[in-house]
Structure 1
Amino acid sequence: MKKLFALAALLFVANVTFAQVPSNLPGNFYFDLGLAMLDEEPFDLETQSRGINISYMYEFTLGSEKFTFHPGLGYGHESYFFDDDITLGKVDGKTVGFPISEGLIVDDVKKTKLAVNYIDVPLEFRFRTHPGKNAFRIGVGVKGGVLFDAHTKVKYEVGDDNQKLKNKADFNLNRFRAGGTLRIGYGAFNVFGYYSFTNLFEDDAFVNFSDDTRTIVVGLTLSSF
C-alpha cells in the first residue's frame, strides 16, 4: 500500500509540475516511471527494482506535421533491489556479492540496493494522428547516457535502531550506455519501453556470473503536452 501511495504522489507532483510549464515553450518535458530488470541477473533481484527518467525533448516536424523528430537531454536513475541480504563490493578487481552480516552486526536487513544515475541524450522519431495535445502518438528512438554516480545502500536494524550504510564505488559498471526506446500513448499519458544494447556491468566484471547484464525498463510516461 505504501508503494501505491508513493506512486500516486509521484504522478501527482509530476502532473502539477508539468501544468506550470508555459504552453508556448517549444518541446515537452517527460517523466517516466517503470519497472527495471536485467536480461540476465548476476544476483537475485526483487521485482520492485525501478527506473525513473526525467527529460526535455525539442520537436522538429519532418515535412508533414504528423511526423516529428525529438532530440533531448535527460536524467536517468535505476535502483536494483537485492532479493537476498547481500551487497556489492570488489575483490581482486572483480565485482562480488557478499552477505551483509559479514561486514556488519545486524538484526534485520530492511532493504539493500544498487543505484545508478545517468545523464542521457534521447533521440526519438514519432508519428501522431494530428498536431495538438489530444492525439495518438507512437515513437521509436535511441538513448545514450553517461554514468555519473553509482552507490549501494543498505537499511538495517541493530536492536531498536534503524541504520543506513551507503557505499559509492564503480563496481565495474559500464561508464556509458545506449539502448532503444519505444513510446505509445494518447495525450499526456504513454507507455514506454527501453532495452539497453550495452551491458550494465563491464565485460569480465564477475568471476562466476554471465556478463550479459543488459537493462530492460517498462512503465508509464507523463508528459507536458
Structure 2
Amino acid sequence: MKKLFFSLGLMAASFGVFAQDAKNAVANKAMGAAAHSKDFLVIQLGYVGLTGTGAGAINTGFNRQLNIAFMYDIPLQKTNFSLAAGLGIGSDHYHLSKMSLDLRNASTVPDFQETDAYSKFKLAATYLEVPLELRYRQVPENANKGFKVGVGLKIGNLLNAHTRSVANVNGSKLIEKEASKRLFNTWRFAGTARVGYGNFALYGTYALNGIFKDNGTYDVNPYSFGFMISGL
C-alpha cells in the first residue's frame, strides 16, 4: 500500500513538473512571437510644406500630415537589416493664409488668389500609399527595443483632392467644399527616412515629383517631417 501511494505521488509530481514546463514553453513562445512579429502598424503625424518654383507665392500656415500604414517586415538572416513593404493612407492638409484656390476654374494652372473673404481655407490631398523600406535595428530579435534607422520609397496614388472654405456672410458662417483631381498628378513618389529608439521615431519625406500637373507656374514638391509611433 505504501508503495502504491508512493508511486501515485511520484506520478503526480512528474505531471506537475511537465505541466509547468509546458506552460513556460507556451509563454516563451508567445513572447518570442511578439518580439519577432512581422506585422506592424505605423502612425505618423507631422508638418507638410511645399518647395520649388512658385512655392513662395503660396501663403500657408501650420500645415499638417497624417499617415497610417500596415507594414510587413522581412528580416535578412544573420544581420541587423530587414526589408519591409506595406499599404496605407496618407493625408496632407495645407492651410492657406489669406489665399484661395478655385478647383472649378477651367485653367490647367492652379488659380491661387489673394483674398480676405475667408476666415479659413484648406487644401487637402489623400493618397493610397505603398511604402517600401530598408531597415537597420540595433536589437534585431526584438522590434520594440534599441536604436533604429530606415530609408525607403513611398509610392502614392491620389484618391481625393478638395478644398474647404469658411466665410462669414451677413453674420452667418458659410462652409463650402470643392473636390476635383484635375489639377493634381495622379501618382506621387517620395523618398523617406526615419531614426528612432524603441517604438518612437522622427521621420522625414521628400516628394520626387510635383503635386500639380502644371510644372511651370507652380512646380512645387511636398516635403514633411514629424513624429511617428511603430514597433518596426
**Moved segments of 4+, more than 4 Å:** 22-25
Deviation at 1:88, TM superposition (A): 2.8
Q: Tell me, in whole angstroms, the C-alpha distance in 2 between the residues paired with 1:96 and 1:31.
A: 33
| Alpha-carbon displacement from aligned partner over 1:43-80 (angstroms, at most 9, x marks no partner) | 42324011110011101111225111111111000011
Conserved 8 A contact 1:29-1:56: yes
Mark the CA change 1:224 to 1:162 in structure 2 (over 3 Å): closer, same or farther: farther
Q: Does the residue aligned with 2:59 lie in a helix, a strand or coil?
A: coil
* 1:34 correspondence with 2:46: yes
1:157 correspondence with 2:168: yes
Unaligned runs of 5+ in 2: 1-32
Root-mean-square deviation (CA), in Å?
2.1
The one-letter amino acid paired with 1:215 is P
1:98 aligns with 2:109: no
Percentage of pairs with the same residue: 28
Query: For 1:210 and 1:97, how far apart are their aligned partners in 2?
Result: 10
Say which one has the larger Rg. Answer: 2
When you count strand as a share of all residues, which structure comes out higher?
1
1 CA distance for matches of 2:218 and 2:107? 18
Please, which of 184, 203, 225 is the counterpart of residue 218 of structure 1? 225
**Shift, 1:171, TM fit:** 4.5
Q: Which amino acid aligns with 1:84?
A: K
Within the candidate set 112, 115, 126, 2:121 is matched to 112
**CA 1:178–1:192 in 2, change beyond 3 Å: closer, same or farther?**
same
**Deviations 1:141-193, CA, capped at 9 Å, x for gaps:** 00001001000110122243222100001241100000110010011110000
Q: Which runs of 5+ in 1 are unaligned?
A: 1-21
**2:74 aligned with 1:78:** no
Provide the TM-score with structure 1 as the length reference. 0.79
* Residue of structure 1 in register with 2:16 after alignment: none
Distance, in Å, in 2 between the alignment partners of 1:43 and 1:49 is 16
- SS of the equivalent of 1:37 reads strand
Given that residues 87 and 100 in structure 1 are in contact (C-alpha distance below 8 angstroms), is that contact kept between their aligned partners in structure 2?
no
SS in 1 for 2:181: coil
Corresponding pairs, count: 194
CA distance in structure 1 between the partners assigned to 2:206 and 2:102 by the alignment: 24
Give, as a single letter, the amino acid of the residue that structure 2 aligns with 1:113. K
| Alpha-carbon distance between aligned partners in 1 of 2:114 and 2:124, rounded to the nearest angstrom | 18
The separation in 2 between residues aligned to 1:163 and 1:198, in whole angstroms, is: 35
The 3 A distance-change label for structure 1 pair 25 and 224 is: same
Q: Determine which structure has the larger helix proportion and give its number.
A: 2
